[in-house]
Structure 1
Amino acid sequence: MAKNGVLNNEELYEKVSTSINIKKENFVILICAIFIASIGLNMNSQPILIGAMLISPLMAPVQGLGLGLGVFDSQLTIRALRLLILEALFAIMTALLYFWLSPLTYASSEILSRTQPTIWDAIIAILGGTAGMIGARQKEANNIVPGVAIATALMPPLCVMGYSIYTQDWSMFFGAGYLFLVNVAFIIIATFIVVRVLHLDFRMQVDTKMERRRHYLMIGAAVLIATPSFISAGNLIQTEMSQQRANRFVTEAMADYYVLNQNIDGHRQQLTLDLLGNKPVGVELEDLVNKLGDYHLENFQLIINQVANNEIIEMQDIDRYIDKKLQSQYTAAPFTMPTEKVSLDKTLSEIKRQLFLVYGSQIKKISTDILSKNKKKTGQVIVTLTQDVTKKQQEQIKVSLDEFITHTDYVIQGTIKKSQ
């Protein structure tokens, strides 16, 4: 009998065992979940992904595997493994079908984030697997198992594998496959540990030697599977540190330029910046290269691409820019200011952005500064134009700058000058 709403060991075994029977209803639910998850990945939407993971039936066979291994039930283990493989293959093929039909094929950030598993994914899987098995003991319905499904994210890696087959990106395929393996393996291990802590009865005669051998096998599998994730975590930390240094470099050393996009490649030791407007050359470029050392980026090569004057931008770059804008829900509108009052610093940044958007090919750089006099802050904008700008163009830029300043809530001094 269950006491205080908690199932006893035999009832827990029956509950998990019954849940891994092959049912056509579960495969229909799986198809729906995969399509929803694929749409979420395609649209770069986390809420849609969460909805897909809530209805996913993938947790049942994973828990069944952990239980089967924990109680030495080979029949239950085989049933659970067979169901997991069938559902995984079914999920990959369904995702492949979706991406074959979808007009959007670029790799969103949600897709890319499922290709580099780290040790943190293993830790989440262990904690999630433990919570999931404890939740399964509850007689009444609860939100623990759905929460585990969201946290461990079994569904998205399978969708990414389907996407990878469609795009024939095998590096992405194996990365997503490894993430799925890490999640499944450590949920199984966590379930195995909970089963042994609860002292569920073995389903066959087991001596101490057999039990010890299985424990060693589980430990060995955990170490073997987790080792690459440790390496990946180290690489991720190094990449994040380099990214932060690059952000500081762009914010401080490149403050007078409008950087549309930045990318740092730790393997190739390259920092690539896409600049709107004229890019620095000669002494200015050399000065920027020398400043890399101030941000611990001395071993990186600085590559600056100019994306103005009708230069060609690759489609994947355009997709990335669109994706970035969709995430921030921000749309550029020349010479408009927000209805709500914003800070002086943001106002100056907006002036700089708008001028680069409209006159990018004629502007070399824009310096902004906040001046303080008698406890009153004022802004300063200094626009440096290229040498080939005509007098008429210079007057037009000056008129636009003055007009834009009048629409702000601050006292801002605007200056136009030509580069020497």
Structure 2
Amino acid sequence: MKIAIVGAGIGGLSAAVGLQRAGAEVTVFERAPEVRAGGSGLSIFANGLAALDALGLSEDFDAVTDRSVEGFAAGQRRADGRWIAQVPNDSVGALRIVDRADLHRILFGALAPGTVRTDAAAVAAATDGTLTITAGAVGTDSEAQLAAEQRFDLIIAADGLHSRIRSVVAGRTVAPRYSGHSAWRGITSVPVDLGRAAGESVGCGRRFGIAPLADGRVYWFAVANMPQDAVFADEKATVESMFAAWHRPIAELIEATPAEAVRRTPISDLSHRLARFHRGSVVLLGDAAHAMTPDLGQGGGQALEDAATLTALLAPLAERGAALRAELGEALHRYDALRRPRSQSIARKSRLMGQMFQLDSPLLARIRNAVFSVVPSRLIAAQAASVQRWSPPAPPR
């Protein structure tokens, strides 16, 4: 089976690893001239760990992460550091925090040399498996002259929030929807003592999240309500100012991060839920299918689930190729039935959580904090389990 994957993010590379190991001929097309993971971390919960295991990546992943984070106090704190609600340790389950650069390195290392083609933009796709690629001059006037069509048995669109291929499946343009808040992200350059406490601290229209990496460095994020096109002359100085009066070690974490490593991203999801995740020989994966806000820490986990599900369903067909078009259609239909309800449900919950924790009103924020402080731990545990409980499907017979 000849498979094109558009996008060399975590979801696209994970699918490439799984399908290549299953015997498919895989090519990954990446628009950027080089693949960069970005200077941020990623929370991988039990469901994402199950997906990594299904893809045969657990051993390498375990080598760059540490399960000690599971023993940290976590939940929501006020800006002064007092706990609003602590998440029971047994509700978190398995959890790892990984530097995205490490995860990308693992995924690249698991692929055959030459699998990923950079500086290669997929500008169009057709349901018959035709993919139009431009190379070497992305975004220039000569782009049309460099376009070339290639034919594949399957095109996997893993090209993110601003996917060019999504409309082929959706039948219309589904644009990103700005949440009303943006996030700075960074990783400290040196270890910082967290006092074995992590999680989020919340205020009025602002949040700060803390997650320890295996080597003692800390991944952090700072969220604030603002216009999508807000401009700041100095990103690090801005976030330092916004959170200067918040509890320790927030100021230390920002200070320990190089200014060039502090990056801000508008937080967006899809403006509409898709009615389908595949059409013909084109299937969507990751943010292209179900871009969600990061408020449940499930963006990466859901992309990994997508990759592991596709691999499980397509592995029996991978070495047999295009002659089994009907079987391929059945596998993609099952992928849609398995992935769309779950990922869209999590996306809705994630957006709601973000709206709740970004309340601007001091009165509403106090009410929110009071409500969360009395929620029974068993309900917190049940909610966490509903998101994290997942296993890959059995291959079709």
Fold shared by both chains (TM-score > 0.5): no
Larger radius of gyration: 1
**TM bucket normalised to smaller:** under 0.3
Indicate the structure with greater helix content: 1
TM-score under structure 1 normalisation? 0.24
